[in-house]
Structure 1
Amino acid sequence: MSSKFESYQKRRLASSYISVVISIALVLFMLGVLGLVLLKSTTVSNRVKEKIAFTLFLKDKVNRKQINGFKNSLVKEDFARRIVYTSKAQAAKKYSKEIGEDFLTFLGENPLKNGIDIYLKAAFVTPEKMEVLEARFLKNQFVADVSYDKPLINLLTEHIQRIGFWLFVLSGFLALVAIILINSAIRLTIYSKRFNIKTMQMVGATKSFIRKPFIWQGIKLGFIGAFIALIGVGVVVYYIDVFAPSLRLLKDYITLSYVVGGVLLAAFIITLFSTFFATQRFLNLRTDELYY
């Protein structure tokens, strides 16, 4: 009879462990995918920003030596990611190709100016910082005019901020749900052992001694759930890379390492604190309260 009861208890305990691992895995999978979206959206938005050119049109009196010196000084600036120089002759050829005829034959001279396209680092592609750069270069002795797409910059910044805000709200909500679900699953597991906890406490075991095996067990279950979640995230990453190869997810080792590290860290922190507070609750209960 006792052997049947013990086997029943073991099956019940194994079932509770499996449910905890599945709960942790599902929640961490959602967090992992959301983290991937957050990190990759930042990468994509930065890539879009860094394709926007900030063009300086140079004065006609500026000679080649001065242009080269000016280019070299721009390369050393913190905001510059890439510098592209376009002579007025190259600009004329490009414009003639776009309109389908040589406009110089009608005008007799080239009205275009030598230009330097500055491709800024993503952090500097904001309306405020670009206005500061515009004001600075308009005072430069070599620069005749400055050109960049102000409406596009404003629109891009507005959309990125809006998307970032809602992703932040969603990530906060899912993090809260993750904590609640994992905490509930771990509490149910410890609830089944509440009488063992109280018995150990009654024979003189300290609270830290009683908590320790439960905490290690919770962390172990958390890492198992995290491993399963990362397998799921890996499958998602693989199929995204197949259907959207331009994102280069499989080669983005920095983003992937952040996701893996974040999932493992979340598993450790949530299970550690959930197990600690769950065991603490039952340690503080009176014996007659264990039946409720």
Structure 2
Amino acid sequence: MSRIHPTAVIAPGAQLDSSVEVGPFTVIGPDVRIDAGTRIGPHVVIEGHTTIGRDNQIFQFGSIGAAPQDKKYADEPTRLEIGDRNSIREFVTFNRGTVQDGGVTRIGNDNWIMAYVHVAHDCQLGNDIILANNATLAGHVHLGDHVFLGGFTTVHQFCRIGAHAMTAFTAAVSQDVPPFVTAAGNRAVPAGINSEGLKRRGFSSEQIMEIKRAYKVIYRSSLPLDQARQELERMEQQSATAAAHLRTLREFVSDSPRGIIR
């Protein structure tokens, strides 16, 4: 118990590993579970049916697991699930899910969440994501692995952003952003591929070149989208090194209920 500051309020029923650190004036509700090595700063509120994994760091003034900002919410026992090794900075807000979706908001592993980020109800975040200051996700947004959202990015509800995609500062995303693509502007439009990010993650020059060719098929060839998908499939079959990445791109474009940014 020496790791829990005496001014913290831990409700009966909360399950905290003995190695969890809790700072001054933090409040933790009865349905919260926190695993080993996680550090909670001062003045944090963690409530609802919230599960937090191992070795996370949550900085001061966060609101974690509050009720969803949805008028249909009727106090159902929905959940927030946070994985391992996430850095969650000051004034971040994560809301629980709703029964209109899967009932859970989910944050993966190894994510870097900067100050004032808002993740609304039913969002699904993968791994190794960076959300810069004031990025805002509306309800039901899905982010793939290695996504980077620039500061003050806003994402409309039900949008999906594919793996390795990136948004520029103040981008306003109202349709799906395909994997590997950079989006910029209000409303966000495609602005090339995230070449530098792919290099940093070990993509070969040939793989990046093939992804860039695929981008040109979708956005620069003037082909109707159905024909562009057919061309992507042909490229996938002919590629020795980038077939899996081209398949990821083609499948995302083919299964986009909101449509992709154009």
**TM-score, normalized by length of structure 2?**
0.18
Select the structure with the greater relative contact order (CA < 8 A; seq sep ≥ 6): 1
Larger radius of gyration between Structure 1 and Structure 2: 1
Name the structure with the higher strand share.
Answer: 2
Higher helix share: 1
TM-score (norm 1): 0.16
